[in-house]
Structure 1
Amino acid sequence: MWTNCKLRPSGEGSATDQTGPRVRCRLRGAQVRVLGEACPANRITARRACDTTAHGGAKHAPLTAGRLHAVVECDAVNTACVDPVATAGVGHVQYWYRHCLLQRGLYDALRRARFDTRIEQPPAAVRARTAINSGALATMSAGEQVPPDNVSILDEHGRVVKEVLGPYPEGAQPTVSCVATGGRPIPRLYWRLNGAPPLEGALEQQRLLPEGGVAASLRLPRLSRALLLAVVSCQAVSSPHVPPVAASAAVHLLLEPLTVRLLDENRPLSAGRQYELRCETAGSRPAATVTWWKDGEQLPHDRELTNADGNVTTSVAQVTPALEDAGRQLCCHAANARVQGGAVSDCWTLHVRYSPVVSLELGSNINGSAIREGVDVYFECNVRADPWIHKVIWRHNGRLLHNNVSAGTLLSNQTLVLQAVTRNSSGLYTCVASNSEGDTESNAFNLDVKFAPECRPGQQLVWGAARREVLQVPCEVEARPPARLFRWAFNSSAAASETRPLDAGVTAAAPGRSVLQYQPMGERDYGTLLCWGRNELGAQAVPCVFHIVPAGRPDAPHSCEVSGRGATTLRVTCARGSDGGLPQQFTLELADAERRLVANVTSRGRPDFLLEGLQPGARYTALVYSSNGKGRSQGSAAR
């Protein structure tokens, strides 16, 4: 290339050139290197005042005033070549450049270098470092200085960055580029990080681009949280006399969450009650994904709240603990799906409080299916609770039991003892345990006390019958289990010592009940029927006794009187007659003066009647009679 160009004072050099300063240039080597790019020089020819060759040892011919044309042809494919077009004058030198174009696979560029030795005084001389590889200083007119047209920052994939660079994982060390187009002289590029001075080493990577412009690369320092949102800027400076043009972008990082914590305190929770729990995580970019877990089982969560800069995320979950959750691990898990690993968790061991869990059992050495009257029985109330219980009560068929030593009922903590149980001890037993969380009643245990058959109270024991009248006499007994076998016998009143079994006419209507069909034929058939039941515990000790008596219609009541009068009330009493051998009842019929029935009153115990709601001053007639299973007696009028 042309190097060591010097201006010589007018009058020096060849006698044939006295019109102005002379320019001496030396062509170095067989290659032309322009702006850092190599371009083989196939032919370099100087015409008019300079004749030189492409050999390093060529003779230097002085350049006279006038014009020097240099033609450089580049035949290298895929080579970017830029030739300077220069004008040299006394006191200043002007440089500009154009680009070689790639056409049809080879470079065919014609560029001209012009050296003008005419003496001109520049309007405003400035010194600027040019991008010519020789690094020579030249002076350029301030009026011809132009700022760059555009400056862009490109990521490692060559994409233009708009405000955001990245995001990059923590620890990455990406390389970014800065490209500036336009500007005269060729701009120099300066990198800055968070406004700090130009980053060392950036200028050595500056290069010209084939399509025009200048570029510089920067390998960012290893990225850490300290560089989150750091501003990387590139400034293109053509001259101190024109404003610089800059581009900037903020470094965005992919960061794993730093912290996660369950808010509030790990306090005891009540089973069955809903709680709102919150978990907060910070340090993740983008915002962390928060999940809730209970012993490896993922739980649903209600909502997530993220602050304005996305650094802190709060997750809210509705949790309803159960008794079984006591001692389990409740964890809040935060992770960044775009970062491998780095998940963080915070866990609580659940302390669940619950109302008592109660179960009632019969004593371990007692056979519940073989309890009979007279044996001792005890129950155990098993309790599991948190906090522990402060009270246990016992119930029998819903009624509260109290400690009663004389009755054989003993209460001791979680144990109930029943001494010498009877059939009345049968029924449903429960225990109720209480703590601060509530009261819980146990399962009901049905105590079944077995006993031999006994005659059921309240049965009809006297049966009146005429001769040859057929009676259906039922015998009902109480027993546990119910009696299914029955035995009947007859004891005549005429021969009290004679008892004969009765087999014919006996039917078992239902468990615990037998019916005897009996027909008295004569006087000796009136007497006593005996009935015994039997179950698995044995035969009935005392039989049920039924009396068979001659029967007819009852006699009428007598001596009926009105014993009390009032404005609207009337009381009538009578003496009863013979019942005819059967249970009887008494009836009063009240009629007015027109013989219309006003009242009909029945009394089972005795002939004593109270009439109310009568008309004052009215006249009434009262008729009293008795009746049994054989019929009705004659009536008796009250006086």
Structure 2
Amino acid sequence: MPRNTAELRVMKDFRERVPRSQQTPELPEGAAVAASLRWHCPSRWRITALLCQLHIALPLLLAFLPQLLLLLGAAGKTDASQLTDDPSGRATAVYALNGEQTTIPFYLHRLPGTVVRVKLYQQKANRMFYEIDGSRRADGIFSVGSHKIEKDWASRSYLSTSREPALLKVGHVTLLDSDTYICNVQYAGSEETFNETVRLIVMIRAAAPLAYVSSSEQQMVPLIDHRLGPFNESTKVTLVCEVLGGVPRHRVYWVTKLTQKTETVLQDITRVHLPLVITRNLLLHKFVCVSEAIDGYVENTTVIVDINIPVEDVTIVTNPRNISGVVENKEAEFHCRAEGSRPPTRAVWSIEGGPPLEPFFYEEIGHNLSSTFSVLMLAGKKVLDGRRLRCSVTHPVFGTIVREYPLNVLYSPRTHLRLGKGVRNPHDIPEGSDVYFECVVDSKPKPSMIFWYHNGRPIETKDIPTTTAGTYLILQSVNATHSGNYACLATNPVGSTASENVSITIKYAPRCMGLWHQGWNGYSATNVTVLCTLDSNPRNMNFNWFVQIGLKKADKIRLPFTVVNETTTKAVVDLSTFEQPSVTVECEGKNDIGVQRLPCVLQLSKRYDLYDGELRDCTVSSHDEVMYFDRLVVQCRLPRTPQAPNLYVMEVYTGDDMSLLLNVSSGSPQFIIASRSFGSADQLVLLIYSVNADTNVRSQRTVRLAIQTNPYTAPLASIESSAPGLSTHDLILVMCLSAMLATALK
């Protein structure tokens, strides 16, 4: 690039012509003598100088006329236009920058001999500007040769001959110095001369190349950061490389395989145009614009093509462990990946376009084509079930692509228990009604199991008259034991949840809780105090006491009683007034719901011939307040115990076919039996007897208890004797009583 206006003007003048004032006309014959005379007779006035020259030259001309004529003839043949090139036939090129210094080499010893004279000529300027004369010395020009230099070269040049090649050192080179230089060399003892040619090229550096782009929509626009675009595919653009200045003019070109290039030159500006159609294979392709000077000096600028490329594909995937669904209260991992875009896209997570969700991890991968990768950790919530997770991928040019993922949230049951229709008041349900509960469950997946609870304990449907159908619990013919709190528990693979408690109250007629004697040892025939406890809802009850002395209804005698509290009464039985060896005492009650279905029954015996160790007064009771018989407690007492055996045995049989269910033994006359040992038997027969541990002899009498697992039936006891001496009347009484009790149990 030119450094100033003056330099540009010099460049222009140099290209057009060499100023005439710098040109030297051809020298006529005798020019050498005339030049010598001008050297010895300097004068400002022409006439004075002429007289001096004539005074000196006239004697010389007369004395050396032949030699002078020969010299004049030779001098006339050594002007720059008549010099021939060196024998090698090629000129050495020397490059120099305008305003700098340079050296021009000349080889003086191409031929043997002593160099006695060197003359330097400018071919275009057609003049000699430098001469070294050593003809008067034996060593020629290499000692103290006489240097004759033209005025315009005198202050900035010197020919050094101390080494080979000789170097013409030139300072402050200008464009006018660009020329072909001829070195005329003369050797001692020879009239022939040798010429060597060197070409000096003075240069001005061009400005650094600049890159522009032009399209159909806009004029030439300079490129920023050497980047072309970004453009969309199929866009037509033209790359322009511009170089300002340069002497000689630089060679400007694009380094590319494309051949459709055009070059334009406007004054000192060189432009090379490269048309392009933007395609994907040009992505990040480098185009290099080169500005090359004649001396090989190169400057370049690189242009990189950038292209807008839309997203190829957007996908949402989840961790394999979440394929079946997102588990409530646990984090699920989702990946959103956008492939093959430029520039990179921006991925945003949301629930159906709601507020943005903060990603756990975000990354942009790739150099040419980018991949956007975003990871979302989403906590499972029931409210998200059925909604759609959205990943919105936005390209700054081509807009937004949305991908959605349906959320399947797996959550534990939401359980609610409600009483079935038809029950107006849950705390006023008559016994015998059918009541059902509905366990309303909201869960995903559906519940695999539903468990039912009564008063906090699991309900075993095999033990009570219930029906479970899906989410329903049906209580058939409810009774007092069904009162209490009910709950259901639903479970699925996610978890288990229990419902709230729903309480019901059953209104029922009186039932027997216990009938027992108080303070009687079983030997005397005096009065026996018997207590009776009933349970009912409501509690207001009317009690009735009877003594059964026979099998007929007329054999039932009403017995006076006294009230102990609202649930218990007592009566006194005088056994001495009865002829029978045994009597049966009955206690029953009545309330607003109805009459007690089966009375409380207790058998009192007046027998005195019991052997030592034999059992009597056996009672059966339940020590649980739950709605089912969880266990039975059987207790007997001994009339006398001086020689009591230390082993007691109880055998449990089914009442229908007398199949043996259980055989237990104890060191005391007390047995506790778990209800699950009975199986599904409705009636049980208990046989209790003693065994002498020393002799292994069984007692002569066995206590027989017939019981029904329905809690409404009180335990009935009879004495079965296998010993001799039992009267026929007693046997018939026992058989009739057993038949009557069996009829009552049906």
> TM-score scaled by structure 2?
0.42
Structure 1 or 2, whichever has the larger Rg, is 2
Greater percentage in helix = 2
TM-score by length of 1: 0.47
